[in-house]
Amino acid sequence: MQRFAELLDSLAFQPARNAKLRLITTYLAATPDPDRGYALAALTGTLDLPNAKPALLREFGVQRLGETLFTLSYDYVGDLAETLSLIWDAYVDPDGEAAGSRAGHNRPPPSLGEVVDRLRLTSKRETPQLIERWLDELDATGRWALIKLVTGALRVGVSARLAKQAAADLGSVSIDDVEEVWHGLKPPYKSLFDWLTKGAPRPAVSGTTAVFRPLMLANPLDEAELPTFDPLAYRAEWKWDGIRVQLAAGGEQRRIFTRGGDDATAAFPDIVEAMEFDAVLDGELLVAHPSSGTLAIAPFNDLQQRLNRKTITPKILRDFPAHVRLYDALFLGGEDLRALNFDERRARLESWFGERPRGPFDLSPLIGFATWDELTALRAGARAAEIEGLMLKRADSAYVAGRPKGPWFKWKRAALTADCVLMYAQRGHGKRSSYYSDYTFGCWRGEELVPVGKAYSGFTDEELLRLDKWVRDHTTNRFGPVREVEPGLVLEIAFDAVQRSTRHKSGVAMRFPRVHRIRWDKPHAEADRLDALTRLLPVN
Amino acid sequence: MPFDPTPSDPRSWLFTTPQGLYCAPGDFHIDPAWAVKRAVVTHGHGDHARAGHGATLATRETIEIMKVRFGEELGVTQGVRYGETVGIGDVDVRLVPAGHILGSAQIVLDWRGARIVVSGDFKRRRDPTCPAFEPVTCDVFITEATFALPVFRHPPDSYEIGRLLQSIKTFPERCHLVGVYALGKCQRVIRLLREAGYDGRIWLHGALVSLCDLYKREGIDLGDIAPVGEMGRNPKDDLFGRDVFKGAIVLCPPGALADRWSRRFPDPLPVAASGWMRVRARARQRGAELPLVISDHADWDELRRTVRDVQAPKLWVTHGREDALVHQARSMGVEAEALHVAGREEEGA
């Protein structure tokens, strides 16, 4: 437990992805089974433990310190788990040097495996005593980690995908190999580690269980290359503006995975209910309202209403009905189609789909075209908000995990741009922590600048140096890591769309804003007015 | 002077003025925030020791530190040994180790049978760069309260230094930039590293050099230390090579961690050594990737222990989180109250 706690602690302070990977891999290499397996489960969110309620923790704290001191402490720290972990042994040993870990008794702290096993076996009524005993045995970092574990959320900035990548690194295998076997396994993942570190055979994957299969991703199209491609060798589809998902159903299991392999099943009961099939499908999750026989796709904003919710109410289901527009089939009826080419898979998908009730599903239509000019014109004419652009897929492409170069391209709609004025700059993280690299910019409303978005990318390292210097030379106010600058620098911002926003003073928010050009030359008074953006809002 | 000083009424002979804490029968200030005629100074940190007083009394080491910091603008100085008694006016003044930094002292004031002790900043745990705090029984103890909340419990230094050495093993290609205060923390961290067996060169930001030199003159062995100087400044300049800083320890003032100065180092890993690092939100605010809880102030347990050890029936609590310590002391049967002194703000610790 202590080592796991130290890992979480380091991760919480480490912004860089590669460094996080190194920390996890180092831990996994040095920690025996089953602890490392439970740690991996905790990091990937597959560790299902009985929860402790915050009220119980608060009560513990008040018992230890009394109401006054506990309240003063909690007010200062602002986080219940952390407060409790810090104050826990404040009165154990008044005479000793401070901070003895585990002052006042000699029992060794529990291992992670012990914590998990005991929590699973102990009745709900006895759980508080158990937690209390462990809090006595652990040091402050250990207590903090334990409380995180029993209250559910680790929040150390590690995605399930990243943790799996670390496991893959440990065994020098590809993450796709780990993903393939992953959902067939259970914590503490002994067979996985036997494979990764001890030369045991790779754990078996059964045909159609609802496991995540790594998605095939597209590369951005370089338009200059387009004329060199044979139009007859490619198929085209709209690129829908939702969330890419994989639907996996078979036997008793039904799961919805996001692009990164995170399990989103719980958020979409309306889709799950309709997954009465044995298949693994690739598609786009949208919010769509059936209206007079056609489907009206709602703005991306509406889809966000369905994400990151703890409870899905009937009202949410009614107001924001989910829909999946299908792109591809990886498995049908237990048969692995991934080695087939796109045309073959598409034909199988169409015939399979034609034989079953529709439900909240439809097929993403193929777009007929004979020449690139024709397709270019179609792309230019498509202004519907739900369309992000086009997808080009080679007719002979197998379904390959990852982002292979060549077979699939995304050809996004030309970005919109606006000239905005730099208003605030914030220090970046990690490598960029000495640079003001995050920019908030605004447009004119009357005589006033109102913020419309924030961008962190789109400039070169040399440009960043120059931007950083400009910010330092034109600062008018400081708020911690943020500097307010005098209006004077125009940033040409590229973005994909404009949405309504109640969070921003301007009432609008940009989708995917990035710095397109830095207009060192342009007077800030000539930057765009807010109307230029509100005109671009979707009509509904 | 509000009313005639009487020994039995401590507020009548030691009280705050706009310049700071004032001892009436001796006609001097203690750690005044502004220039005064006569000052007694507990230790060399900038919010306690200032230039421009007519006369300054402090430990010999503190006077040396003040000379390094303020040059010759010090006026008349009197450097004393720990334990030596000096009469100022009617008051006997004695300086006793506070364990905070080199030269740091508690001020023991004896006047007509009454005794008040001003702790200045202090800690109770061992510090290889200064003598340990000595509790002195008294009628009134004036304590600092920088970390006076039960959440502040400093772990053993050796454990924290171990975390730094472990990080160097995990990230041997990254330069470990450690943010430390120039006076005290810097030299203590160096000594702790040496005690942990680290004998490699430790690099210093220019702002840390003169005080390290002073510590060396005072007989504190800091081992192989060297200023960074211009090394690595020009990324294209291979003459010095930035490689020397890979896996190296570089000490700098906290403000330099995310300053342009830090860009010369290969993939710097920001480390902060301070008592505030105990609280994660604070550590994140500082941008530390490796927060080390190393403090020169007493933590909650040390404060409580000290309140008990000095056996003072009255406790006056200055800068920090007075509420919690006042509450705690009252529950221990001590008559406690907050004392607001000019020029005391939350400081680095």
Q: Are B38 and B28 in contact (CB under 8 A)?
A: yes
Q: Residue A188 falls within a domain, yes or no?
A: no
For B111, list phi and psi in degrees, rounded to 5. Answer: -140, 115
Interface residues on B facing A, Cβ-Cβ cutoff 8 A: 124-125, 149-156, 159, 170-171, 257-260, 262-263, 267, 270, 278-281, 283-285, 287-291, 299-302, 304-305, 308, 321, 323-324, 327-328
Q: How confident is the model at residue A47 (pLDDT cuts 50, 70, 90)?
A: confident
pLDDT at B168: 95
Residue A329 bridge partners (DSSP): A281
Q: Residue B344 falls within a domain, yes or no?
A: no
Q: Residue B254 falls within a domain, yes or no?
A: yes
Which of the pair, A536 or B217, is modelled with greater confidence? B217
Q: Residue B54 falls within a domain, yes or no?
A: yes
pLDDT at A266: 87
Do A378 and A432 belong together in one domain? no
Q: How confident is the model at residue A102 (pLDDT cuts 50, 70, 90)?
A: very low
pLDDT at A276: 92
Which structural domain range is residue B184 located in?
157-292
Q: Are B56 and B41 in contact (CB under 8 A)?
A: yes
Angle between helices A35-44 and A17-30 (to 10 degrees): 150
Mean pLDDT is lowest, of A379-388, B76-85, B104-113, B168-177, for: A379-388
For B249-282, write each residue's pLDDT tens digit. Answer: 999 999 898 888 988 888 899 999 999 999 888 8
Do B174 and B272 belong together in one domain? yes
Q: Residue A308 falls within a domain, yes or no?
A: yes
Do A359 and A482 belong together in one domain? no
Asked if pLDDT for residue B164 goes beyond 50, the answer is: yes
Active site positions of A, annotated = 239
Q: Are B289 and A15 a contacting pair at CB < 8 A? A: yes
Do B79 and B207 belong together in one domain? no
pLDDT at B274: 94
Give the end of a domain, one of B257, B277, B292: B292
Q: Residue A261 falls within a domain, yes or no?
A: yes
Residue in B150, B262, B299 closest to A73 by CB: B150
Residue identified by tokens 């007015």 is A529
Do B106 and B238 belong together in one domain? no
pLDDT at B80: 97
Q: Are A72 and B323 a contacting pair at CB < 8 A? A: yes
Q: Are B258 and A433 a contacting pair at CB < 8 A? A: yes
Do B147 and B164 belong together in one domain? no
CATH number, domain of B141, equals 3.60.15.10
CATH number, domain of A49, equals 1.10.3260.10
Do B196 and B211 belong together in one domain? yes
Asked if pLDDT for residue B305 goes beyond 60, the answer is: yes
A19 in B contact zone (CB under 8 Å): yes
Do A377 and A427 belong together in one domain? no
Amino acid at B326: V
For chain B, the C-alpha Rg in angstroms (whole number) is: 21
CATH number, domain of A397, equals 3.30.470.30
Asked if pLDDT for residue B60 goes beyond 80, the answer is: yes
Do A12 and A114 belong together in one domain? yes
Q: Residue A246 falls within a domain, yes or no?
A: yes
Q: Considering only CB atoms, which chain A residues are within 8 Å of B299?
A: 98-99
Residue in A13, A96, A99 closest to B288 by CB: A13
What distance in Å separates residue A474's CA from the closest CA in chain B? Answer: 17
Q: Residue B345 falls within a domain, yes or no?
A: no
CA of A92: which chain B residue's CA is closest? B301
Do A407 and A420 belong together in one domain? no
CA of B307: which chain A residue's CA is closest? A94
Q: Residue B164 falls within a domain, yes or no?
A: yes
For A:313-352, CB contacts with B below 8 A are none
Do B245 and B203 belong together in one domain? yes
- Determine the residue among B289, B293, B299, B308 to mutate to test chain A binding: the one whose Cβ has the most chain A Cβ atoms within 10 Å: B289
Which of the pair, B321 or B288, is modelled with greater confidence? B288
Q: Are B91 and B85 in contact (CB under 8 A)?
A: no
pLDDT at A100: 42
CATH number, domain of A481, equals 2.40.50.140
Q: Residue A450 falls within a domain, yes or no?
A: yes
CATH number, domain of B226, equals 3.40.50.12650
Q: Are A73 and B156 a contacting pair at CB < 8 A? A: no
Do A232 and A307 belong together in one domain? yes
Q: Considering only CB atoms, which chain A residues are within 8 Å of B287?
A: 427, 429, 433, 481
Do B65 and B198 belong together in one domain? no
Asked if pLDDT for residue B347 goes beyond 50, the answer is: no
Residue in B150, B171, B308 closest to A87 by CB: B150
Do A330 and A467 belong together in one domain? no
Residue in B171, B299, B304 closest to A94 by CB: B304
Residue A321 bridge partners (DSSP): none
Q: How confident is the model at residue A122 (pLDDT cuts 50, 70, 90)?
A: confident
Give the end of a domain, one of A91, A118, A151: A151
Do B40 and B18 belong together in one domain? yes
Q: Are A90 and B301 a contacting pair at CB < 8 A? A: yes
pLDDT above 90 coverage of chain B, percent: 79
Q: Residue A403 falls within a domain, yes or no?
A: yes
Do B332 and B305 belong together in one domain? yes
Do A450 and A355 belong together in one domain? no
Q: Residue B167 falls within a domain, yes or no?
A: yes
Asked if pLDDT for residue B95 goes beyond 90, the answer is: yes
Asked if pLDDT for residue A539 goes beyond 90, the answer is: no
Do A275 and A336 belong together in one domain? yes
Q: Are A98 and B125 a contacting pair at CB < 8 A? A: yes
Q: Residue A405 falls within a domain, yes or no?
A: yes
Which structural domain range is residue A68 located in?
2-151
The tokens for A175 are 């993450």
DSSP A109: P
Residue in B267, B270, B278 closest to A86 by CB: B278
Number of domains observed in the structure of chain A: 3
Do A397 and A498 belong together in one domain? no
Give the end of a domain, one of A379, A412, A445: A412
Give the end of a domain, one of A376, A392, A412: A412
Do B144 and B14 belong together in one domain? yes
Asked if pLDDT for residue B30 goes beyond 50, the answer is: yes
For B99-133, write each residue's pLDDT tens digit. Answer: 999 999 999 999 999 999 999 999 999 999 999 99
The strand ranges marked E within chain B are 14-17, 20-23, 28-30, 38-40, 55-59, 76-80, 85-88, 91-97, 105-111, 114-118, 140-145, 176-179, 202-204, 225-227, 249-252, 269-273, 290-292, 314-320, 335-338
For A407-461, write each residue's pLDDT tens digit. Answer: 999 998 888 899 999 999 998 876 777 889 999 999 999 999 999 999 999 898 8
Asked if pLDDT for residue A208 goes beyond 90, the answer is: no
The C-alpha torsion from B150 through B152 and B154 to B160, rounded to 10°, is: 140
Do A74 and A101 belong together in one domain? yes
Q: Residue B5 falls within a domain, yes or no?
A: no
Q: Considering only CB atoms, which chain B residues are within 8 Å of A10?
A: 290
Q: Considering only CB atoms, which chain B residues are within 8 Å of A86?
A: 150-153, 278-279
Q: How confident is the model at residue B348 (pLDDT cuts 50, 70, 90)?
A: very low
Strands B202-204 and B249-252: parallel
Do A102 and A43 belong together in one domain? yes
Q: Considering only CB atoms, which chain B residues are within 8 Å of A65?
A: 150
CA of B261: which chain A residue's CA is closest? A434
Q: Residue A107 falls within a domain, yes or no?
A: yes
pLDDT at A470: 93
Q: Are A99 and B154 a contacting pair at CB < 8 A? A: yes
Q: How confident is the model at residue A261 (pLDDT cuts 50, 70, 90)?
A: confident
What distance in Å separates residue B288's CA from the closest CA in chain A? Answer: 7
Cβ count within 10 A of residue A424: 19
Do B275 and B166 belong together in one domain? yes
Q: Does pTM top 0.90 for this prediction?
A: no
CA of B289: which chain A residue's CA is closest? A13
Q: Read off the pLDDT of each residue in A190-212 and give the average, rounded to a whole number.
A: 84
Q: Are A13 and B283 a contacting pair at CB < 8 A? A: yes
Q: Considering only CB atoms, which chain A residues are within 8 Å of B288?
A: 13
The whole-chain average pLDDT of chain B stands at 91
Number of domains observed in the structure of chain B: 2
Q: Are B291 and A13 a contacting pair at CB < 8 A? A: yes
The tokens for A447 are 């005589």
pLDDT above 70 coverage of chain A, percent: 95
Q: How confident is the model at residue A283 (pLDDT cuts 50, 70, 90)?
A: very high
| HSE of B15, CA atoms in CB hemisphere, 13 A | 15
DSSP A215: P
The whole-chain average pLDDT of chain A stands at 88
H/E element, A37: helix A35-44
For A291-336, write each residue's pLDDT tens digit. Answer: 767 788 888 878 888 886 778 899 999 999 999 999 999 999 889 9
Asked if pLDDT for residue A97 goes beyond 80, the answer is: no
For A357-404, write each residue's pLDDT tens digit. Answer: 788 999 999 999 999 999 999 988 876 778 889 999 999 999 998 888
Do B228 and B128 belong together in one domain? no
Q: How confident is the model at residue B346 (pLDDT cuts 50, 70, 90)?
A: very low
